[in-house]
């Protein structure tokens, strides 16, 4: 693997976006930044800017209003990038799947690489999911112009 | 090549006057081009010939006696009185008591002086030294380029004959002022420039223009009164009206320094230093060529030119020199901070001009070889860069009618040529490794002789960077696009292109040639009184405290810019949109002006107050020294 | 003029290794900060992982102005560092580094984006805050020593210029973008400020240029100690830099971000006052008062 590929695994920067969740999964995600879980030891930083981020961590069932914004942010992320859906709402939209104002899961808008179920998804599960995403990167070496890794249909599930 | 230097000087003074008169009969603006271009070519060639000739003679100065000019003294005396009478009449007509009072205060004492020195000639009448040549080159080359630019700029104006006549007359007057050694001649040319400034500021005939013109007239006439009294006292204490004799005399000290204090005050009004800066700010209502020529490159330089001339005298009194240095550095600091708060482009440039003139004044006050060298280099490079900046602003005003900084946002896509010329102007005026920066570096080194000044200097330098960067940034803000802005697409007239391009290229070229400029044009003057302390050796400039590898840096920076610009086209699939939290609106952002109007006015007031106190001290110092010697 | 090849190679090595050293220092900084916050933190070479990763991303910019100015930023800072290392004029080093900062600001302005715009204006405000202090410290060095050329500074500037060293600390806090004065890249307020529209390799270039910039400031710190014995000299210089950096870290972890006006007022007042006091002391000692 080239040096940049190895470095990418060691330094994944995160963009955390909430598409209408109850903030339960968001709180768990932010808990990762605290000394107890400390994801900075993996080199992960919470960057608010899609142009700087490698991993898009999405929570929430993607309401109609926020969908174009989500797509906008996804387009502004340079490859190689990962999309990780955190929580049940982001995975399938449950329990809001049938609601009229909700798309029902991040996968309906942008391609997702890792699904992390849970309500709220536990911090340990989120860490597991991100590490799994990094393994996806490790498995395929990237060239910068390749399009995003599209996960196999249905994505890879983390047993939470 | 033994050219008659007297003829060249006569040409430099008379040809513009004749060219100006020749403009008057024309009706159409187009035909004005002929006398203007002819005059420009002649004075440009004449001034360069002057430089080459003096250089080939190998002397540092050349004197020309009055005899060579025939009855010039008579002509000048008569014209001078006519002028002063005109000022009194103008004051009367405008019902402005101050103007009338100043006019009378000039007229009556000068009449007395003329009668007192009737029959005595002043020898020499004209002195050509390198300081005068540097000024002459600036006046004639930069001035001519601006006049040519004005041909296109003023194309829709109603009173072009009068405009060009006065502009050309002004060039001639400036030439006369820098070569004059006879103080009466200097006074006459000084007042002619006051007249030209008054007429040109009021050119547009709007109420605002008239008010600004009158204010400028009052301020500069006040300076003329100080100059008049200064000259009379020079005659009183030194018995001569020859500037050269006075400067080389052993200063009598004490009260005999009073004329120089008064002349310093006159210089301060001419150069619009604090507390006189209002007239220059108001003068920005004039058409842009006027702002470029009079109010940045040449006329306001006349004040600091006089100060540089006077610098040998300041050896006599540290207090006088320090006060002058304080006035200069205070002007620099105050105007640099105030420029951050301005949103009108021309006013920002006006503040910047006053700031740089303040720097030159400060150098005169520090009065070491390093400082004066820095002052002359600053004078030279500032004229070129500032004229370029004003001309760019003028083109924008001409094409779009806008003169606010916030309206120039994104100019890079709309007018690429002007944006690049503007960028070159800003780079050459504040960034290393260009010439103006070299002078700033020398000034920083010189300032440690008077450590108090370093504090005023440091803040001023940082403030300069802030206001120029935010303006340039506004201009260069571009949307999301693949293509570089194409220079050819810019639909501006050829005259604008050539004049802007000439000055931009000139600014860069001069930066490359700075060692030669220092060696051949600055040091010959410095060595007369100080002994040189700045040297150049092709690629590096040396000063007594450090060295500046200017050419190396220029090449590095230039190569990098060229390469980066040529190879930096983003591919179509690499374009991105601005980050706005996922939204897709277009956002317009407001500018940043640092302080509220109240704070700004307060700051202005404090600066004016301190400056007035300094001026009072300045004039009182000779008296204080005199009293001190009695005790 | 014969070229001293050994010296030239050493200087070039120093120019190349300085940003590497700064990267390591940033890594150590993050580790110590993490331990101060009762956690483990990333490995020390994390900044290098970050930098190299950036060069492997797809470049995305808005227009070519950003690219031009990013390169300008890097090259100007590198040139300034090269000048400093080769013993050039300290004032020129300062001004060229300043030109690099201006290039960065212009690059941020080049992209028509509101966060970038505000970020660059804040960066200008930072420049307004720290540049006078830095310039004054350098002028004080010149006043004290009588020369600005680094190669002829063969005496310890301490203890004569101790107050100036403290003033320099404030400059370091702002340059390192640490609380309480991390105004320009205030993460929660304006995302990344001037860095916002840069991504991939161009972000890597600006980061590298920032490392050069910090190397220059730390280089000025090292001027404050000198000893004939090369080993003592290096030990002393490293100690000064280590103490300064540790102090900024403690400050960073103990404070929250303050407002822009506070930054301006405090930095200018505090910094200029200290330098003025120091200058007065130097002046008095020159006059023979002590």
Per-residue model confidence as pLDDT tens digits over C236-259: 889 999 999 999 999 998 988 888
Is A51's CB within 8 Å of C52's CB? no
User: Would you say B160 and B29 are in contact if contact means Cβ atoms under 8 Å apart?
Assistant: yes
Residue B252 has pLDDT above 70, yes or no: no
Q: Would an 8 Å CB–CB cutoff place A140 in contact with chain C?
A: no
Residue C96 has pLDDT above 80, yes or no: yes
User: Would you say C86 and C242 are in contact if contact means Cβ atoms under 8 Å apart?
Assistant: no
User: Would you say C263 and C174 are in contact if contact means Cβ atoms under 8 Å apart?
Assistant: yes
Higher confidence at residue C42 or residue B565? C42
Q: Which residues in chain C touch residue B557, judged by CB atoms under 8 angstroms apart?
A: 72, 75-76, 79
Q: What pLDDT is attached to residue B472?
A: 93
Residue B309 has pLDDT above 80, yes or no: yes
Distance from the Cα of C197 to chain A's closest Cα (Å) equals: 7
Number of CB pairs, chain A paired with chain C, less than 8 A apart: 88
Averaged pLDDT for residues B248-275? 86
Which of residues 531 through 570 in chain B touch C, CB cutoff 8 A?
Answer: 545-549, 553, 556-557, 560-561, 563-565, 568-570
Question: Strands B61-64 and B541-543: what pairing?
Answer: unpaired
Residue C61 has pLDDT above 70, yes or no: yes
pLDDT above 90 as % of chain B: 32
Residue C7 has pLDDT above 70, yes or no: yes
Averaged pLDDT for residues A4-22? 90
Number of CB pairs, chain B paired with chain C, less than 8 A apart: 203
C-alpha B434/C-alpha B431 separation (Å) is: 6
Q: Which residues in chain C touch residue A80, judged by CB atoms under 8 angstroms apart?
A: 56-58
Rounded mean pLDDT of chain B? 86
In a 10 Å sphere around its CB, with 0-12 CB exposed, 13-18 middle and 19+ buried, how is residue B31 labelled? middle
Domain range summary for chain A, segments of one domain joined by +: 3-142
Q: What pLDDT is attached to residue B596?
A: 82
User: Would you say A61 and A24 are in contact if contact means Cβ atoms under 8 Å apart?
Assistant: no
Q: What is the 3-state secondary structure (H, E, C) of B542-601?
A: EECCEEECHHHHHHHHHHHHHHHHHCCCCCHHHECCCCCCCCCCCCCCCCCCCCCHHHHH
Q: Which residues in chain C touch residue B568, judged by CB atoms under 8 angstroms apart?
A: 64, 67-68, 71
Is B546's CB within 8 Å of C79's CB? no
Averaged pLDDT for residues C195-215? 92
- pLDDT level of residue B538 (50, 70, 90 thresholds): low
Residue A79 has pLDDT above 70, yes or no: yes
Q: What pLDDT is attached to residue A147?
A: 46
Which of residues 126 through 155 in chain C touch B, CB cutoff 8 A?
Answer: 127-128, 131-133, 135-136, 139-140, 142-143, 146-149
Torsion of CA B467, B469, B473, B474, to 10 degrees: 10
Check residue A78 and report its DSSP letter. Answer: P
User: Would you say A136 and A149 are in contact if contact means Cβ atoms under 8 Å apart?
Assistant: yes
Higher confidence at residue B472 or residue A145? B472
C-alpha B83/C-alpha B502 separation (Å) is: 36
Q: Would an 8 Å CB–CB cutoff place A4 in contact with chain B?
A: no
Is B582's CB within 8 Å of A68's CB? yes
Q: Would an 8 Å CB–CB cutoff place B121 in contact with chain C?
A: no
Check residue C149 and report its DSSP letter. Answer: B
User: Would you say B501 and B421 are in contact if contact means Cβ atoms under 8 Å apart?
Assistant: yes
Lowest mean pLDDT among A23-37, A51-65, B41-55: B41-55
Top residue of B440, B546, B569, B582 to mutate, by most chain C CBs within 10 Å, is B546
Lowest mean pLDDT among B327-336, C23-32, C57-66: C57-66
* Model pLDDT for residues B173-216, shown as the tens digit of each residue: 999 899 888 888 899 999 999 999 999 998 888 899 999 999 99
Is A142's CB within 8 Å of C56's CB? yes
C-alpha B279/C-alpha B281 separation (Å) is: 5
Is C59's CB within 8 Å of A144's CB? yes
Q: What pLDDT is attached to residue A154?
A: 44
- pLDDT level of residue A16 (50, 70, 90 thresholds): very high
Residue A32 has pLDDT above 60, yes or no: yes
Out of B457, B484, B556, name the one closest to residue C64 (CB). Answer: B484
Out of A51, A68, A145, name the one closest to residue B576 (CB). Answer: A51
Block residue for tokens 């940033």:
C26
Q: What pLDDT is attached to residue A146?
A: 44
Distance from the Cα of C197 to chain B's closest Cα (Å) equals: 7
User: Would you say A64 and C64 are in contact if contact means Cβ atoms under 8 Å apart?
Assistant: no
> How many angstroms separate the Cα of C196 from the Cα of each of A118, B138, B351, C109, C202?
33, 44, 33, 11, 11
User: Would you say B170 and B193 are in contact if contact means Cβ atoms under 8 Å apart?
Assistant: yes
Q: Which chains touch B (3 or more CB pairs under 8 A)?
A: A, C
* Model pLDDT for residues B415-464, shown as the tens digit of each residue: 889 998 999 999 999 888 788 888 888 888 888 888 888 889 999 999 99
Query: Which of these, C47, C69, C77, lies nearest to C194 by C-alpha position?
Result: C69
Is B579's CB within 8 Å of A70's CB? no
Q: Would an 8 Å CB–CB cutoff place A128 in contact with chain C?
A: no
Q: What pLDDT is attached to residue A150?
A: 41
C-alpha B376/C-alpha B363 separation (Å) is: 9
Q: What pLDDT is attached to residue A151?
A: 40
Q: Which residues in chain A touch residue B582, judged by CB atoms under 8 angstroms apart?
A: 66, 68-70, 72-73
C-alpha B592/C-alpha B466 separation (Å) is: 10
Residue A145 has pLDDT above 60, yes or no: no
Averaged pLDDT for residues A18-41? 91
Is A49's CB within 8 Å of B579's CB? yes
- pLDDT level of residue A149 (50, 70, 90 thresholds): very low
Higher confidence at residue B309 or residue B449? B309
Would you give the distance in Å from CA B195 to the centre of its chain?
Answer: 17
User: Would you say C141 and C158 are in contact if contact means Cβ atoms under 8 Å apart?
Assistant: no
Averaged pLDDT for residues C268-272? 91
Averaged pLDDT for residues A142-149? 46
Residue B262 has pLDDT above 80, yes or no: yes
Averaged pLDDT for residues B17-29? 80
Q: What pLDDT is attached to residue C80?
A: 92
State which of A57-61, B511-515, C8-12, C115-119 shows the largest mean pLDDT. A57-61
Distance from the Cα of A20 to chain B's closest Cα (Å) equals: 14
Q: What pLDDT is attached to residue C248?
A: 92
- pLDDT level of residue B112 (50, 70, 90 thresholds): confident
In degrees and rounded to multiples of 5, residue C123 shows phi and psi of -65, -40
User: What is the strand order of the sheet B546-548 is part of?
Assistant: B535-536, B541-543, B546-548
Q: Which chains touch C (3 or more CB pairs under 8 A)?
A: A, B
Residue B253 has pLDDT above 80, yes or no: no
Q: What pLDDT is attached to residue B65?
A: 79
Distance from the Cα of B372 to chain C's closest Cα (Å) equals: 19
- Residue B453: cis peptide before it, omega within 30 degrees of 0: no
Is A76's CB within 8 Å of B577's CB? yes
User: Would you say B515 and B536 are in contact if contact means Cβ atoms under 8 Å apart?
Assistant: yes
Q: Would an 8 Å CB–CB cutoff place A51 in contact with chain B?
A: yes
In degrees and rounded to multiples of 5, residue C45 shows phi and psi of -90, 20
| Chain A CA closest to residue C43 | A41
What B491-495 contacts at long range (C-beta under 8 Å, 24+ apart), as own/partner pairs, is: B492/B395, B492/B399, B492/B415, B492/B417, B492/B418, B493/B152, B495/B148, B495/B149, B495/B151, B495/B152
Block residue for tokens 């050219």:
B3
Top residue of A20, A76, A81 to mutate, by most chain B CBs within 10 Å, is A76
Out of C46, C58, C191, name the one closest to residue A43 (CB). Answer: C46
Q: What pLDDT is attached to residue C269?
A: 92
Query: Which of these, B72, B90, B101, lies nearest to B10 by C-alpha position?
Result: B72
In a 10 Å sphere around its CB, with 0-12 CB exposed, 13-18 middle and 19+ buried, how is residue B567 labelled? exposed
User: Would you say B549 and B514 are in contact if contact means Cβ atoms under 8 Å apart?
Assistant: no
- The pair of three-digit structure tokens given for residue B469, joined into one six-digit string: 């960067």
Is C42's CB within 8 Å of A80's CB? no
* Model pLDDT for residues A122-132, shown as the tens digit of each residue: 999 999 999 99
Backbone torsion region of residue C50, taken as left when φ is above 0, otherwise alpha when ψ lies between -120 and 50, otherwise beta: alpha
Q: Provide, for chain C, the percentages of residues in helix, strand and coil under a 3-state DSSP scheme, each rounded to the nearest 5.
A: 75, 0, 25
- The pair of three-digit structure tokens given for residue A97, joined into one six-digit string: 């799947």
Is C191's CB within 8 Å of A38's CB? no
**Length reported for chain C:** 290
- pLDDT level of residue B536 (50, 70, 90 thresholds): low
Q: Which residues in chain C touch residue B437, judged by CB atoms under 8 angstroms apart?
A: 95
Bridge partner residues of A45 (DSSP): A13
May I ask the CATH class of domain A3-142? alpha beta
> How many angstroms separate the Cα of A58 from the Cα of each of A54, A62, A76, C128, C188?
13, 9, 15, 40, 19
Residue A57 has pLDDT above 90, yes or no: yes
* Model pLDDT for residues B564-614, shown as the tens digit of each residue: 777 777 777 678 888 888 887 777 788 888 888 888 899 999 999 999 999
Q: Which chains touch A (3 or more CB pairs under 8 A)?
A: B, C
> How many angstroms separate the Cα of C85 from the Cα of each of C8, C10, C18?
10, 9, 10
- pLDDT level of residue A156 (50, 70, 90 thresholds): low
C-alpha B117/C-alpha C269 separation (Å) is: 57
Q: Would an 8 Å CB–CB cutoff place A75 in contact with chain C?
A: no
Residue A159 has pLDDT above 50, yes or no: no
Query: What is the value of pTM for the model shown?
Result: 0.92
C-alpha A39/C-alpha C40 separation (Å) is: 9
C-alpha B502/C-alpha B399 separation (Å) is: 20
Backbone torsion region of residue C146, taken as left when φ is above 0, otherwise alpha when ψ lies between -120 and 50, otherwise beta: left
Sequence-distant (≥ 6) Cβ neighbours of residue B185 within 8 angstroms: B72, B73, B76, B125, B176
Is A48's CB within 8 Å of C187's CB? yes
Is A79's CB within 8 Å of C56's CB? no
């Amino acid at each position: 693997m080239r040096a940049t590929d190895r470095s990418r695994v060691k330094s994944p920067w995160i963009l955390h976006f909430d598409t209408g969740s109850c903030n339960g999964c968001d709180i768990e995600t932010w808990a990762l930044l605290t000394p107890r879980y400390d994801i900075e030891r993996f080199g992960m930083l919470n960057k608010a800017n899609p142009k700087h981020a490698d991993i898009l961590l999405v929570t929430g069932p993607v309401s109609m209003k926020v969908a174009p914004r989500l797509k906008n942010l996804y387009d502004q992320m340079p490859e190689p990038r990962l999309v990780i859906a955190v929580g049940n709402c982001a995975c399938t939209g449950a329990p809001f799947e049938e609601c009229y104002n909700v798309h029902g899961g991040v996968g309906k808008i942008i391609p997702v690489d890792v699904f992390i179920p849970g309500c709220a998804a536990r911090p340990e599960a989120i860490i597991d999911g991100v590490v799994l995403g990094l393994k996806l990167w490790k498995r395929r070496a990237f060239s910068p112009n390749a399009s995003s890794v599209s996960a196999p249909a249905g994505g890879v599930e983390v047993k939470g | 090549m033994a050219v008659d230097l007297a003829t060249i000087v006569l040409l430099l003074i008379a040809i513009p006057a004749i060219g100006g008169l020749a403009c008057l009969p024309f009706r159409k603006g187009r035909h004005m081009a002929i006398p203007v271009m002819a005059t420009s070519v002649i004075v440009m060639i004449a001034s360069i010939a002057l430089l080459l000739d003096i250089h080939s003679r190998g002397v540092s100065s050349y004197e020309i006696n009055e005899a060579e000019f025939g009855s010039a003294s008579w002509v000048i005396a008569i014209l001078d009185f006519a002028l002063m009478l005109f000022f009194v009449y103008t004051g009367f007509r405008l019902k402005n008591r101050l103007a009338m009072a100043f006019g009378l205060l000039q007229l009556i004492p000068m009449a007395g002086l003329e009668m007192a020195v009737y029959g005595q000639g002043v020898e020499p009448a004209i002195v050509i030294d390198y300081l005068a040549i540097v000024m002459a080159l600036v006046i004639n080359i930069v001035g001519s380029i601006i006049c040519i630019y004005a041909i296109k700029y003023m194309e829709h104006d109603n009173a072009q004959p009068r405009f060009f006549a006065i502009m050309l007359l002004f060039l001639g007057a400036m030439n006369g002022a820098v070569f004059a050694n006879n103080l009466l001649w200097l006074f006459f040319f000084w007042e002619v420039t006051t007249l030209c400034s008054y007429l040109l500021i009021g050119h547009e005939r709007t109420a605002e223009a008239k008010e600004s013109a009158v204010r400028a007239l009052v301020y500069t006439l006040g300076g003329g009164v100080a100059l008049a009294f200064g000259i009379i006292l020079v005659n009183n204490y030194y018995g001569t009206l020859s500037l050269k004799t006075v400067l080389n005399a052993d200063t009598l000290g004490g009260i005999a320094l009073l004329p120089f204090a008064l002349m310093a005050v006159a210089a301060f009004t001419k150069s619009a230093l604090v507390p006189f800066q209002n007239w220059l700010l108001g003068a920005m209502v004039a058409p842009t060529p006027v702002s470029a020529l009079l109010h940045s490159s040449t006329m306001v330089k006349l004040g600091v030119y006089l100060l540089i001339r006077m610098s040998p005298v300041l050896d006599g009194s540290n207090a006088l020199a320090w006060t002058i240095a304080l006035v200069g550095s205070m002007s620099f600091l105050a105007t640099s901070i105030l420029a951050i708060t301005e949103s009108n482009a021309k006013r920002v440039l006006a503040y910047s001009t006053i700031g740089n003139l303040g720097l030159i004044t400060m150098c005169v006050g520090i009065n070491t070889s390093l400082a004066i060298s820095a002052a002359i280099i600053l004078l030279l490079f500032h004229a070129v860069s500032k004229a370029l900046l004003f001309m760019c602003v003028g083109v924008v005003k001409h094409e779009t009618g806008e003169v606010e900084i916030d309206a120039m946002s994104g100019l890079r896509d709309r007018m690429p040529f002007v944006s690049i010329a503007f960028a070159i102007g800003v780079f050459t005026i504040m960034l290393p490794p260009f010439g103006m920066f070299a002078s700033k570096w020398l000034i920083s080194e010189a300032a440690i002789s008077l450590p108090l000044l370093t504090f005023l200097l440091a803040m001023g330098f940082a403030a300069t960077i802030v206001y120029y960067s935010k303006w340039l940034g506004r201009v260069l803000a571009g949307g999301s696009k693949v293509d570089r802005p194409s220079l050819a697409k810019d639909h501006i007239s050829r005259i604008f292109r050539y004049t802007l391009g000439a000055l931009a290229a000139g600014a860069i070229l001069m930066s490359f040639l700075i060692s030669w400029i220092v060696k051949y044009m600055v040091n010959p003057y410095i060595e007369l009184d100080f002994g040189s302390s700045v040297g150049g050796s092709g690629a590096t400039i040396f000063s007594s405290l450090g060295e500046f590898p200017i050419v190396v840096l220029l090449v590095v920076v230039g190569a990098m810019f060229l390469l980066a610009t040529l190879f930096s086209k983003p591919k179509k699939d690499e374009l991105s949109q601005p980050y706005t939290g996922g939204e897709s609106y277009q956002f317009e952002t407001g500018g940043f002006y640092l302080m509220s109007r109240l704070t700004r006015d307060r700051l202005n007031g404090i600066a004016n107050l301190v400056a007035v106190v300094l001026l009072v001290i300045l004039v009182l110092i000779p008296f204080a020294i005199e009293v001190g010697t009695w005790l | 003029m014969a070229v001293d090849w050994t010296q030239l190679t050493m200087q070039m090595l120093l120019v190349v290794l300085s940003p590497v050293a700064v990267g390591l220092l940033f890594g150590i900084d993050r580790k110590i900060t993490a331990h101060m916050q009762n956690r483990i933190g990333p490995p020390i070479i994390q900044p290098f992982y970050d930098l190299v990763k950036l060069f492997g991303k797809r470049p995305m910019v808005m227009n070519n102005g950003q690219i031009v100015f990013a390169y300008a930023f890097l090259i100007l800072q590198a040139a300034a560092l090269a000048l400093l290392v080769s013993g050039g004029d300290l004032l020129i080093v300062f001004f060229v580094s300043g030109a690099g900062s201006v290039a960065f600001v212009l690059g941020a302005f080049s992209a028509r984006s509101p966060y970038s715009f505000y970020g660059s204006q804040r960066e200008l405000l930072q420049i307004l805050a720290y540049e006078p202090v830095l310039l004054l410290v350098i002028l004080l060095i010149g006043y004290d020593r009588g020369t600005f050329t680094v190669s002829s500074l063969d005496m310890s500037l301490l203890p004569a210029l101790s107050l100036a060293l403290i003033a320099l600390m404030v400059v370091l806090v702002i340059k390192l973008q640490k609380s309480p004065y991390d105004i320009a890249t205030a993460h929660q307020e304006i995302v990344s400020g001037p860095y916002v529209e840069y991504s991939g390799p161009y972000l890597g270039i600006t980061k590298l240029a920032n490392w050069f910039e910090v190397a220059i400031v730390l280089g000025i710190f090292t001027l404050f100690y000198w000893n004939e014995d090369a080993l003592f000299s290096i030990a002393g210089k490293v100690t000064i830099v280590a103490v300064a950096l540790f102090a900024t870290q403690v400050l960073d972890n103990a404070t929250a971000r303050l407002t822009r006006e506070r930054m301006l007022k405090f930095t200018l007042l505090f910094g200029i006052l200290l330098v003025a006091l120091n200058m007065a002391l130097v002046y008095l000692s020159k006059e023979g008062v002590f």
